[in-house]
Amino acid sequence: MSASPGAAAPIPVSTAQDPRGAIARSLGRHARWRWWEFALIAGLVLSWFVLPQHALILKEIAIVAIFAMSLDLVLGYAGVVSLGHTAFFGFGAYGAALFAKHVMPDPWVGLAFAIGVSTLLGAVTSVLILRGSDLTRLMVTLGVASILYELANKLDHITGGADGLQGVVMGPLLTPFGAFDFDLSGRVAYAYALAVLIVVLFLMRHLVLSPFGASLQALRDNRLRATSIGISTNWRLVAAYTVAGGIAGAAGALQAQTGGFASLDVFDFHRSAEVLLVLVVGGTGYLYGGIFGAIVFTLLRDLIAAWTPQYWNFWLGLFLVVLVLVGRDRFIRPWTWFGARR
């Protein structure tokens, strides 16, 4: 007997008998590597060999991409709006700079220390984003960054205050291929930042394409429904905010280590606003949105500043306004040609 036109489609026997297995297979298919992902990673590595004269700006792009990916985990996947994400960036920068100056100058150990203290800061402050509306979270996260800014300014005997923490000298970068000193051309610094970016990309990809990442997106889309089906809301928000704090701290540590300087600028509001603009360009909730957004935003800012040093803010702002009004989907986005969608 045939089913009526309005009847629901029958559930496959294999899915009905083994729902968890079906979900695991679906997530496994979704997490498969695509060829364009390998091409992107290969392109990033080749850029070190092909564009040695642009190592400094490429290093900046890598650091901004790491910072943007950390914010995307909170904003794009967990749905938590933050205007104070620079708190973790700055905490990691000062942590790495102080560690290099007073403990040991090894870049890898200093990076691990900065990630640790930034992760701890994320865990401590995560309780502040569990309650309230988006406006409340905006003010709370901005307040945390402002408090750290003032602390760094007042504790000048530790941080250098308004003059910044100077005299940060890094030791050689130890690799399987030998030890390399940081040079003025920025090639070693870019290789260092690029290696960290690729590691963060692998970790982020594993995280957001896992069941944990799927549950974060469920919280973002409808927290009440996610809670009603048994998803632990608070625990997942704390975990995402903590991990994002550690990744942002890694970006700040790279900034201080490769620049040899840490100043109050790392806690400034403009960094939080800038990384939000990067995600506006690249897209939130995309695994690679932070990377593509960092490339486009940084290169566009550099080109406009070289073309018109006095009015580059105007032209950059005009581009962002047009992007928002017209819509990102109407611009050519290379990563959507191959199906890299949300």
Q: What is the mean pLDDT of the chain?
A: 84
> pLDDT at position 154, please?
92
Confidence of residue 204 (pLDDT cuts 50, 70, 90): very high
Q: How confident is the model at residue 119 (pLDDT cuts 50, 70, 90)?
A: very high
Q: Is the dihedral of CA 322, 68, 276, 244 positive or negative?
A: positive
The residue among 239, 122, 240, 246 whose CA lies nearest residue 196 is 246
pLDDT surpasses 60 at 142: yes
Residue 337 confidence class, pLDDT cut points 50, 70, 90: very low
pLDDT higher than 50, residue 11: no
Does 295 score more than 90 pLDDT? yes
Distance CA 236, CA 313 (A): 38
Cα(172)–Cα(177) distance, rounded to whole angstroms? Answer: 12
Q: Measured between alpha carbons, how far is 254 from 112 in angstroms, rounded to an integer?
A: 11
pLDDT at 8: 46
For residues 269-282, give the mean pLDDT: 88
Interval 166-183: pLDDT, tens:
888 899 998 888 889 998
Residue with tokens 């029958």: 10
**Structure tokens belonging to residue 330:** 């109407």
Q: How confident is the model at residue 230 (pLDDT cuts 50, 70, 90)?
A: confident
For 39-76, what is each residue's pLDDT tens digit?
999 999 999 999 999 999 999 999 999 999 999 999 98
| Exposure letters 94-105 (e unless 16+ CB within 10 A, then b) | bbbbbbbbeeee
pTM of the model: 0.86
Range with the lowest mean pLDDT among 5-14, 283-292, 293-302?
5-14
